Structure 1
Amino acid sequence: MGHSEKTTFIRKKNKWLSLYDLKKIWNPEWFQGNRRKKNYFEGWYFKNVSACGENAIAFIPGISLNTENPHAFVQVISGKTGDTWYFKYPADDFCYAPNTFAVKVNDSFFSAGQINVNLNENKQTIKGNLKFSNRQTYPVSLRRPGIMGWYRYMPFMECYHGVVSLDHTVEGEIQLNSQPIKFDQGKGYIEKDWGSSMPETWVWMQSNNFETPGTSFMLSIAKIPWMGSSFPGFLGFFLHNNKQIHFATYTGAKISSLERNGDQLSLCIETKDFSIHIQAEKEENILNKGALKAPAKGQMERIIHESVNATIYIAVIKKNSLPVFKGIGHNAGFEMIGNTTLLKPQT
């Protein structure tokens, strides 16, 4: 299992670590649920795309804590076919490292530097090792402990979001039912969610497969419950030429327009310095595939659909100046869940 053999792991139920509780706030990639026992989920999203863009595969390891059906899991989605698999394990098969980001689910290992997967159930076998390098990270500070900003400090949020790697290089091979998929000089991205439930409605899109290497984009818009009411909130980033542009509700950025037409979405984000124009669309031949399980009150019973073969058109324009970037992101992750009209800007 490579580096996983050198990592010390502890089981979910065994440790209440006071120092860990403090450190994890500024390390959102770490396991956050060490004190949670029910109505809780946590999952990491590892997207991997081959160098030529022909193959994409995403792994989602995680844990679901509830009174009826607590368990650990690894979800897998193929970008080429839209097929998905859900490998379920006892909750005690989930372990995490006490001083870094590394988790094990049964015989599979996941960290910021590599994954080793050994998944076998119902005649489905997925095995292999991928190593990650040249990782670009999201900055963390006291004022902004990750991409959620000061909302990260709020203890009553329904769902929290973290970005582990904006962009990195992938090397290795995955065998999908004995068929080898090579990822040498591929591209990778890692993020995560944790909390009690995913939002009632949301839009999420991500790509780091642009013509210009090192370019990456992610946007998440959701209906956010807040003190008995709700509001449409968003967060995201654009990485290009080693520079990051951050935009979110808490930064004062605004979504000036948002229009959905079937499985296409067009919108514009206005920040103090930039206008960001976006159009995302799903691949027609897999519109009804990509079924994944999502949490509600910690239980993985909600079915959503994700494409990892979508396309994102993006233009970033510096105000009172020329465009900073215009390009097309391929092999994009794209979700539109629930009544997305609730996310339109309020006039």
Structure 2
Amino acid sequence: MDDFRYHKIEKNSFEGWYYKLSFNDEIISIIPGISKNEEDPHAFIQYIDKEKNEYIRFDIKDFEYDEKRERIVIKENSFSKDRLILNLDDINIFLNISKQIPWGKNLFTKSAMGPFSFFKMQCNHGIINMGSNFTGTKNMEMINGKIYIEKDWGESFPSSWIWVQSNFKYDKNRSLTFSYANVPFLKKAFKGLLAAVYYEDKLIKFTTYNFSKIKSIKYDKNNLKIEIYNKKYKLMLDIKIGSFKLLKSPKNGKMSQEIKESIDSELNAYLYDKDNNLIFEDSGKTALEIYNYEELI
């Protein structure tokens, strides 16, 4: 099954689709979604750029999923794998998205959660597009760049996590994603790792289920350094932390938690092979979330 689709979980649940645009020297995050908490059911669009962050509420009846076209529709706004139309009061964006770069292509590899996709989870995570090109307009001005798409759905976010995503230089065919979270599973919890580097038409994956591990995480208010490895590769991330803006996140399907996301942090990434040869190096702006770090580490 395709992680992008609307899963239609009925009670005290949420679904959110995350679109991250990189163009010129700008990053924009757009999150359409739906909250089915019994106390406050509604649809929403969250929007973040360098100047603002907005949470726009809609009646839950304004949310539609077009199964034939595989797109989310919230009034005059629509979101799919190959097109994005955003019509807010002062922001109008229209994008055509080129062929997506999926996590995998067959039944067992296309879900980023791997074997965990076959279990009922408190929060499910899907990587829809690792970073393809787009062309379009923002407020009638032509833009082109890179877009990354992921999806979360379930009841609540994990109790702690670190999340990083960068398209590096928007004119290159490269991207990176990293998440490390305290994941509830079968009445217990484990620390789940999910990361990948895309370059030269290759997707190098680091996951809990391919036995990748965290070697070290070092964090202070200004810097975050992460090192992970598996039998074939080692990945090092060096992040200069920027400013943060508030986002809403789900708790029992209700968008009641506040978290912080940075879209102007700076990333340096280094990928080594098993013989410690540097095979990839790049830098660029990155999105970053750090939530309840003390519990995670």
What's the TM-score, normalizing by structure 1? 0.82
Task: Tell me, in whole angstroms, the C-alpha distance in 2 between the residues paired with 1:223 and 1:298.
Answer: 18
Equivalent positions of 1:246-261 (< 5 A) are 246-261=205-220
Aligned Cα root-mean-square deviation (Å): 1.6
Contact preservation (8 Å) 1:49, 1:183: no
SS in 1 for 2:168: coil
| Alignment deviations for residues 286-306 of structure 1 (CA, whole Å, 9 cap, x no partner) | x2x411110100000111110
Q: Paired residue for 2:42?
A: 71
- Deviation for aligned residue 1:135: 2.5
Partner AA of 1:295 in structure 2 = P
Tell me which stretches of 4 or more aligned residues in structure 1 moved more than 3 Å.
none
Task: Tell me, in whole angstroms, the C-alpha distance in 2 between the residues paired with 1:280 and 1:92.
Answer: 41
Report whether the alignment pairs 1:106 with 2:75: yes
Report whether the alignment pairs 1:320 with 2:275: yes
Match of 1:146 among 111, 134, 138: 111
Contact preservation (8 Å) 1:211, 1:328: no
Partner AA of 1:201 in structure 2 = S
Distance 1:225 1:115, change over 3 A: same
SS in 2 for 1:136: coil
Task: Tell me, in whole angstroms, the C-alpha distance in 2 between the residues paired with 1:205 and 1:100.
Answer: 30
Task: Tell me, in whole angstroms, the C-alpha distance in 2 between the residues paired with 1:256 and 1:113.
Answer: 37
Report whether the alignment pairs 1:58 with 2:29: yes
Task: Tell me, in whole angstroms, the C-alpha distance in 2 between the residues paired with 1:206 and 1:254.
Answer: 19
What's the TM-score, normalizing by structure 2? 0.95
Q: Paired residue for 2:264?
A: 309
| Alignment deviations for residues 4-23 of structure 1 (CA, whole Å, 9 cap, x no partner) | xxxxxxxxxxxxxxxxxxxx
Distance 1:170 1:212, change over 3 A: closer
Contact preservation (8 Å) 2:146, 2:170: no
Task: Tell me, in whole angstroms, the C-alpha distance in 1 between the residues paired with 2:148 and 2:108.
Answer: 25
Identity of aligned residues (%): 30
Name the one with the larger helix percent: 1
Partner AA of 1:87 in structure 2 = I
Q: Paired residue for 1:168?
A: 132
Match of 2:16 among 40, 43, 49: 43
Name the one with the larger strand percent: 2
Report whether the alignment pairs 1:89 with 2:58: yes
- Deviation for aligned residue 1:228: 2.6
In the alignment, structure 1 segments of 5+ residues that lack a partner are: 1-25
Partner AA of 1:343 in structure 2 = L
| Alignment deviations for residues 128-151 of structure 1 (CA, whole Å, 9 cap, x no partner) | 311111432221333334111000
Match of 1:337 among 288, 291, 296: 291
Partner AA of 1:292 in structure 2 = L
In the alignment, structure 2 segments of 5+ residues that lack a partner are: none
Q: Paired residue for 1:132?
A: 97
Distance 1:77 1:212, change over 3 A: closer
Q: Paired residue for 1:272?
A: 231
